[in-house]
Amino acid sequence: MLSLYLERFKRNRLAAAGLAIIVLLTLGAALAPALCPQDPTAQNLTQRLQGPSAQHWMGTDDLGRDVFSRLLTGTRVSLSVGFVAVGIALGVGTCLGLLAGFFGGRTDTFIMRWVDIMLSIPTLFLILAVLAFLGPNIYNVMIIIGLTSWPGLTRMVRGECLSVREREYVHAARLSGVSTPRLLFVHILPNVIAPILVSATLGVGGAILTESALSFLGLGVQPPMPSWGNILTIGKDYLHIAWWLSVFPACAILITVLAFNLLGEGLRDVLDPRT
């Protein structure tokens, strides 16, 4: 079965390209301290707002800091926020979805009403309100994005669980005396894991976009720590004379989010039994 999935995935060139980009970004983020040609926080006012050159591949910013080094370091921030936030959302959404779908009744009603409440609140405004109260930093950004991203996943897992719990092998396991936790995590969860993986892959791109928007507004990652969003914040003030401060971080966000979306769509095609 695994070889069949791999063969399907290889035939999807866009998904394979997305995976290759994600692998390169992850390696770049992991090796950023060694790969950065200069200290990303080192200021040199004599070289401020210089264009791309052999010394500064992507130019310098308003304080003379190397943009390439800052973008490479910002990759670590963006991927960390994406993976941690999605991990939190996966943990909360999967558990609540399994409980709602398996037990039904009042448990299902209670959980789904909370999902409806969360979905009725504009996510970005909720995040802004919480960050204004707690204070902006990378850890709060990770937690808040994760804790506001679970409702959609909960609804999806619930729907899958409602279908799987009525299958013969689940009834057979229940009649044989299997405990409820074992039913949920051994017999049901493996059979709903495919849409969860797809949702998680797509969710990383969404979390990176949200973090970039928050940093652009000044409520995400705070200087001097570089982030794609706060590099864009500087770039908007010098767009007419320093285009590289906006173009390069914008391209980084575009390529990263596109790569995760291509990978997610590819996984959906590969793991969908109807294909």
DSSP state of 89: H
Assigned domain for 2 exists: no
Give the list of residues 6+ apart from residue 268 with CB closer than 8 angstroms, or none. Answer: 195, 198
Say if residue 7's pLDDT is above 80.
Answer: no
What is the model's pTM? 0.86
Please write the tens of the pLDDT for every residue from 197-248. 888 898 998 899 888 888 888 888 887 888 888 888 888 888 888 888 889 9
Please write the tens of the pLDDT for every residue from 193-205. 888 888 889 899 8
Burial annotation 248-264 (CB, 10 A radius, 16+ → b, else e): bbeebbeebbebbbbbb
Assigned domain for 233 exists: no
**What does residue 267 show for φ and ψ, rounded to 5 degrees?**
-65, -35
Q: How far is CA 36 from the centre of its chain?
A: 24
Full domain range(s) for residue 154: 83-223+250-271
Say if residue 185's pLDDT is above 60.
Answer: yes
Say if residue 1's pLDDT is above 80.
Answer: no
Residue 159 belongs to a domain with what CATH number?
Answer: 1.10.3720.10
Taking the C-alpha atoms of residue 163 and residue 102, their distance in angstroms, rounded to an integer, is 10
Work out the pLDDT band at 186, boundaries 50, 70, 90.
confident
Assigned domain for 56 exists: no
β-strand partners of 60: 66
How many other CB atoms sit within 10 Å of the CB of residue 27? 12
Task: Taking residues 83-94, report their average pLDDT.
Answer: 92
Alpha-carbon Rg for the chain, nearest whole angstrom, is 22
Assigned domain for 258 exists: yes
Taking the C-alpha atoms of residue 136 and residue 229, their distance in angstroms, rounded to an integer, is 13
Q: Which pair of tokens denotes residue 275?
A: 């294909």
Q: What is the number of domains present in the chain?
A: 1
Please choose, from the candidates 27, 34, 41, the residue with its C-alpha nearest in 3D space to the C-alpha of residue 76: 27
Compute, in degrees rounded to 10, the torsion defined by CA atoms 147, 149, 151, 153: -120
Say if residue 274's pLDDT is above 70.
Answer: no
Say if residue 191's pLDDT is above 70.
Answer: yes
DSSP state of 45: G
Assigned domain for 131 exists: yes
